[in-house]
Amino acid sequence: MRAGTSRGPFFLRDWLPADETERDATLIGAIGASDLLQVDGVGGGSTLTSKVAIVSRSGQPDCDVDYLFAQVGVGQRSVDTRPNCGNMLSGVAPFAIEQGLVAAQDGETTVRVFNVNTRSRIDVTVLTPERRVTYEGQAHVDGVAGTAAPIRLNFLDAWGSVTGSVFPTGQRIDLIDGVEVSCIDAAMPLMIVRAADLGVTGRESPTELDANPVLLERLERLRLAAGERMGLGDVSASVIPKPVLVSRGHDDDSVTSRYFTPRRCHASHAVTGAIGVATAFALPGTVASGPAVVAGVRNLAVLHPQGRIDVEVAIEGEGQDARIQRAALVRTARKILQGELHIPDYVYSPSHRTP
């Protein structure tokens, strides 16, 4: 499925080996992770097209389905299940309905998804005219060609879900290697830096940023240090925390973001990253903070290289006591193909195991 601005195979959990080592080997073979072009799998040679969603009936009493996200390596045999992916999340409800895990309602259907990675809940609403999923519609997502049916994601408790705290270092701004950063856990653990503090505008294209090795090396050093301070340990082999460069937006309700995955700049923006950036923008005292916080519902825009992601946030309290109660946004998804995926035997040999 193409889900948001990402793409990858969706599996029912029962279709995969129960053993995690065998499961990861299967995902590596499915994507073709062993080489950069991924010519022996269905990946697209990019972190954005090397993603997997694993779905099952939920073991949580108030949720419909469980969703485990896996980020598979590009040119390396790795599988990381620490982060969530909000773009792939947008395909979970249509997939679950079509696979018979959730009964569709006439008109629209809301599926409560439990993200296993971050142990958080998200309500996902899809259009189901005549009790059937439709992918056709007029919603447009920047970074995706054409239009499709809108899928609404409503994040209910994604704040502090990985580390246990929205600001896991205990501060809203940390000084690392002489640079002010904000370490935040809001849908995705992020390390946010002002672009100007690293000598760039924050409006450069991904190609320009990826061609700046000094910047990339500096960001990675900061990210490794931030991971330690956030209680994530050695993150050299993990994709979290994600580094983000921020700069001023077009107005008081927008912020410009360049999101890294983590060693390359995202062509557009991650959904979970947009929730994190919007949270840092809405709350006071961070490197990304916008105008003074006012309690209530606020519509914010995270500006990225392909356009924008509009995020509706509900803010409770004011000043330093303010907190984000929920955040919602719209994505789209499309089923590309359905069938049997053949896995090569070599990925199960000891010499090709996940490191």
Torsion, Cα 34 35 40 42, to 10 degrees, reads 90
Structural domains of the chain, with CATH: 2-150+333-352 (3.10.310.10), 174-331 (3.10.310.10)
Between the alpha carbon of residue 326 and those of residues 15, 164, 254, 280, 315, the distances in Å are 33, 17, 18, 14, 8
Note whether 87 and 269 are within 8 A (CB).
no
Peptide bond into 262 cis (omega under 30): yes
Which region holds residue 168: left if phi is over 0, alpha if psi is between -120 and 50, else beta? alpha
pLDDT digits (tens, 9 = 90+) for 148-175: 999 999 999 888 988 999 999 999 999 9
Q: How far is residue 251's CA from residue 232's CA, in Å, rounded to a whole number?
A: 35
Parts of the chain with a pLDDT under 70: 351-355
Contacts of 212-215 with CB under 8 Å at 24 or more apart are none
pLDDT, residue 352, reads 62
Structure tokens given for 309: 């992601």
- Determine contact, residues 75/33, Cβ cutoff 8 Å: yes
β-pair partners for 235? none
Each residue's pLDDT tens digit, 7-49: 999 999 999 999 999 999 999 999 999 899 999 999 999 989 9
Q: What is the pLDDT of residues 313-346, one digit of tens each?
A: 999 988 888 889 889 999 999 999 999 999 999 9
**Alpha helix ranges (H) inside the chain:** 20-31, 86-89, 92-98, 206-210, 213-229, 271-282
Q: Which DSSP helix (H) or strand (E) runs through 209?
A: helix 206-210
SS3 130: helix
List residues bridging with 307 in a β-sheet: 304
Q: How many other C-beta atoms are found inside a 10 Å radius of the C-beta of residue 348?
A: 16
